[in-house]
Structure 1
Amino acid sequence: MGDHSASMSQASRILLSLVAGLLLGIGLAAWRPDQAVALTAVTQPLGTAWLHALQMVIVPLIVGLLVTGVAAAAEAARAGRIAARAILIFIAILWADTLLSALVMPALLRLWPLPPGWGESLRAALAGAAPVGEVPTLARFFDTLVPTNAVAAAAADAFLPLTVFTLAFAFAVARLPEAQRTRLVELFQAIVDAMLVIITWVLMLAPIGVFALAYGVGARTGAAAFGALAHYIASVSAIGLLVLVAAYPLAWIAGGIAPGRFARAVAPAQAVALSTQSSLASLPEMLRASQALGAPAATAGIVLPIAVAIFRATSPAMNLAVALYVAHLVGASIGPGALAAGVATAAITTMGSVSLPGTVSFIASVAPVALAMGVPIEALGLFVAVETIPDLFRTVGNVTMDVAVTRIVARWGGAPEPVSPDAAS
């Protein structure tokens, strides 16, 4: 997420549909309140049907992406020690970022909660957004971590046990002889490609679905909806900014590069990331920045392409933040068990976010985390329309962390090239 240039025209259409739906709902509610609410009997099922159409592909998509993502990581690790070292650092950072989000996001929402009037209005507008299934306790988290029946877990949207099984299956596939491994990976890649075709069809209807959902929110909440969306954007973007900023001390402590030097070197890559919302488009500048920071061209040439393909430093932290925000929005209590389920699901499924445009990966990455925590996903239909702004923080954070990790791998590999004297001071 935040790493591929989705069609800006499509993103603009979805955003305009959100604004138009809210404004129409607000205007009609002010003019004819009874008729405005009555009309939601038509618009709400339309919006819900669109959400269900997105939700129906999540299980096969996540399974396919995890298998192909782990296969890509294993293939890269087999290519040499540099790649293996980079992947280990990637995994450590992903888990650390997710745990950081689990600590910071609830604290942020306690310090700066959604104003009561806005929250009550949105909860009324999302009246059907009740907790999904049984909210996991800490005991249940460990009890259900390993599924007794993977098919039943998939059917019940039990994403954490399904993810654990899929991860074990993916690592088993990676140990098979090459011919068998290739056939299976190609099968799951074909499944992913087919799911992406379906999602493309569903997203063609996104303006209608988002308009229908937004109308219902506008009719029931009034102008509070705009304030609530702004609060959401600021809260979730703050977590992305936190991950971005964490790259600077990480490059200093583990990479031996002072923050000022690191900031100057990575700035051009960040500028490309901001303008394109694509890590892939930022790759040439990331290569130049890494070499300017003393990473040999051979090391940067291995680490950065792997990072662009499978490493999303901001994704698990921000995906968990979205799920925690929805829980805050609907007044759902998140205990230790639910939080542990969210952390584990967010950190593991990130490896499956490869090659997805932002709009697709928002639903595919956040929904499993929310469902694992027992959090309803109805609000995601609105939040996807304003994902463009948080997506900027995702992309810039990913690019910044990619360069930091490249420098760290070069230093720990014992082969960093000399940098100018101010690099380490």
Structure 2
Amino acid sequence: MAQSRIIRLVTSLSFRVLIALVAGLAVGAAARSWGLPGGAGTAELIAAIGQLWLNALKMTIIPLVFGLLVTGIASIADAAATGRMALRALMVFALILTGAMIYGIFASGGLHLLWPIDPEGGRALLAGAPPETAVRATAQGGGLPAFLKSLAPPNPIKAASEDAILGIVVFAIAFGFAATRLPARLRLPLVTFFEGVSETMIVIVHWVLLAAPVGVFALALGVGLSAGVGAAGTLGHYIALVVLAQLGLIAILYAVAVIFGRIRLDRFARGIIPAQVVAFSTQSSLASLPAMVEQARTALGVSSATAGLVLPLAVAVFRATSPVANLAVCIYIAHLYGIALSPTALIAGGLTALAVSVGSVGLPGQISFFVSIAPICLAMGLPIEVLPLLLAVEVIPDIFRTIGNVTADLAAARIVEGGDATAEDEAAAGI
């Protein structure tokens, strides 16, 4: 019941935010042509409202990322200690995530070569966005020596205040693994504390997102005032490139399931359709879990024991499309601002994307969009001020995020099960 209420809230929020984006662009374009009541003073007030909403989102990033990573690592360690099957599942997850991260970097770069951003449209989108923050030299300059030094912040508190997110991620990972070595009487309250911190930050994000239509309207109105409705084409281009990157990953996941899961392509494709339909309608891997378990058992030849362990674990810690989609957004922002990404920036972004994918909660993307992507942008030295405008159209890419995650979860379950699909399996499944 609670999950269904959250899904209804987010679906409704997605619609309201999208309407706010369209309305803001339209009102801004009209005011640009016919004048804005109050003139420059009104424009400054509207810009301040948009910046206030953006700052409210930004203030949750560091504590949320740290808390999620510590609790996520603790849950992975606990799962690995439960038996060989769980450990094998985690290894499958890690390999798929690493491959997805590498694919995501090259796929997004290739898509921009084939279909670059229209310069006029890009300038139109950025015209009314809040001023960008300075690009961080640790991510964009200094080469490999500077990158290596940034991995261990001498002062984590100072690193947090300076948005040196990669160092914070490394520190959080080390902290999380160190916590797993503590005796239970010390480990449990520590992990519970950070779980409480992350859940508190998520509540704040929920509150801030309730005001998302107001914040997005204010930011979009600024864009409309500066450039009219010329930004609409760039937003459509952004959606297309993010979705195309994810479709490529989904196609690869089919091949991975066939090769390593030793199952026929037609059987796997037909077997996962019901779970994909639920994913499409709910945009939530958690809400798709019952359908995944059912299809894994009845259509893919996965035993009840394997499905019952691997799929809930996958929903908790495995989001295969997260590195691809999140890196696609960050690389798009880099091209939008004309920032050339160095190899060290791409490595920093890839490593942060992997860490964030483990800590991300299994809820619809409107909830996790900003807190998942902003840390990767910061690690790559990219501005995050345009993210609220991209959040407004996240509802479309998020559909493919969830479909990809469900496809990856079922592929992983089939791989962990091992063995060839037998004729008896196929007969039982009615195939």
| TM value normalised by structure 2 | 0.92
Given the alignment, which residue of 130, 140, 143 partners 1:136?
140
2:194 alignment counterpart: 188
Is 2:346 aligned against 1:343? no
**Aligned residues of 1:28 and 1:36 also touching (Cα < 8 A):** no
Distance 1:255 1:400, change over 3 A: same
CA shift for structure 1 position 38: 6.3
**Aligned residues of 1:61 and 1:191 also touching (Cα < 8 A):** yes
1:368 alignment counterpart: 375
Deviations 1:113-139 (A, max 9, x none): 111210122233336125433243332
CA shift for structure 1 position 415: 10
The one-letter code matched in structure 1 to 2:118 is P
Is 2:35 aligned against 1:29? no
2:71 alignment counterpart: 68
Given the alignment, which residue of 371, 393, 397 partners 1:390?
397
2:156 alignment counterpart: 150
The one-letter code matched in structure 1 to 2:366 is T
Identical positions, percent: 46
CA shift for structure 1 position 417: 9.4
Given the alignment, which residue of 259, 266, 283 partners 1:260?
266
* Aligned equivalents of 1:93, 1:229: Cα separation in 2: 29
CA shift for structure 1 position 32: 2.8
TM-align CA RMSD: 2.3
* Aligned equivalents of 2:148, 2:328: Cα separation in 1: 22
2:14 alignment counterpart: 11
Is 2:114 aligned against 1:111? yes
Given the alignment, which residue of 84, 90, 95 partners 2:93?
90
The one-letter code matched in structure 2 to 1:221 is A
366-375 or 121-130: bigger deviation: 121-130
Given the alignment, which residue of 379, 400, 403 partners 2:407?
400
1:201 alignment counterpart: 207
Say which SS state the counterpart of residue 113 (structure 1) adopts.
coil
Given the alignment, which residue of 292, 295, 304 partners 1:289?
295
CA shift for structure 1 position 34: 11
322-331 or 356-365: bigger deviation: 356-365
Given the alignment, which residue of 302, 320, 325 partners 2:327?
320
**Aligned residues of 1:296 and 1:415 also touching (Cα < 8 A):** no
Given the alignment, which residue of 295, 310, 330 partners 1:303?
310
2:225 alignment counterpart: 219
The one-letter code matched in structure 2 to 1:163 is V
329-338 or 349-358: bigger deviation: 349-358
**Aligned residues of 2:263 and 2:421 also touching (Cα < 8 A):** no
1:271 alignment counterpart: 277
329-338 or 395-404: bigger deviation: 329-338
**Aligned residues of 2:51 and 2:130 also touching (Cα < 8 A):** no
**Aligned residues of 2:334 and 2:340 also touching (Cα < 8 A):** yes
Is 2:46 aligned against 1:43? yes
CA shift for structure 1 position 201: 2.1
The one-letter code matched in structure 2 to 1:216 is G
Given the alignment, which residue of 42, 53, 76 partners 2:56?
53
CA shift for structure 1 position 320: 1.0
Distance 1:410 1:417, change over 3 A: farther
Deviations 1:288-308 (A, max 9, x none): 221221111101100000011
* Higher RCO (C-alpha 8 Å, min separation 6): 1
Distance 1:182 1:236, change over 3 A: same
The one-letter code matched in structure 1 to 2:288 is S
* Aligned equivalents of 2:68, 2:90: Cα separation in 1: 17
**Aligned residues of 1:58 and 1:364 also touching (Cα < 8 A):** yes
Give ranges in structure 2 of 5+ residues lacking alignment.
none
Deviations 1:29-77 (A, max 9, x none): 1223897776432211211111111000110001001111111111111
* Aligned equivalents of 1:288, 1:204: Cα separation in 2: 35
Say which SS state the counterpart of residue 213 (structure 2) adopts.
helix
| TM value normalised by structure 1 | 0.94
CA shift for structure 1 position 92: 1.4
**Aligned residues of 1:99 and 1:343 also touching (Cα < 8 A):** yes
34-43 or 308-317: bigger deviation: 34-43
The one-letter code matched in structure 1 to 2:194 is F
CA shift for structure 1 position 200: 2.1
* Aligned equivalents of 1:406, 1:144: Cα separation in 2: 37
Distance 1:110 1:36, change over 3 A: farther
**Aligned residues of 1:23 and 1:215 also touching (Cα < 8 A):** yes
1:121 alignment counterpart: 124
Is 2:395 aligned against 1:380? no
Say which SS state the counterpart of residue 281 (structure 1) adopts.
helix
263-272 or 106-115: bigger deviation: 106-115
The one-letter code matched in structure 1 to 2:287 is A
CA shift for structure 1 position 110: 1.7
* Aligned equivalents of 1:201, 1:73: Cα separation in 2: 29
Say which SS state the counterpart of residue 386 (structure 1) adopts.
coil
Distance 1:349 1:93, change over 3 A: same
Deviations 1:305-356 (A, max 9, x none): 0011111110111111111111111111111111111111101121110244
Deviations 1:259-302 (A, max 9, x none): 21110000010011111111122112211221221111101100
The one-letter code matched in structure 2 to 1:367 is A
